[in-house]
Amino acid sequence: MTAMEVLAGLAVVLALEGLLYAAFPGAMRRALATLALQPPERLRMAGLGVAVVAVMAATLLVRA
């Protein structure tokens, strides 16, 4: 996986996030409010889990 592929993937993620905010601003606001109420340890574990799955998926997709 090259740096350009990683940057392209990041650009896609940011575009999708922007589309979610544009299409569903109220739902995104509620989601952020819910996240703000979560304990740090829960956020840390969820973030780590998502990161591991995302890296594995990206690696599999690039090698396919």
Question: CB of 49 within 8 A of CB of 57?
Answer: no
- Sequence-distant (6+) residues with CB within 8 A of 1 are 58, 59, 62
Average pLDDT, the chain: 94
SS3 label, residue 42? helix
pLDDT digits (tens, 9 = 90+) for 40-64: 999 999 999 999 999 899 889 888 7
**pLDDT at residue 53, as a whole number:** 97
Q: Which residue has the tokens 């999708």?
A: 16
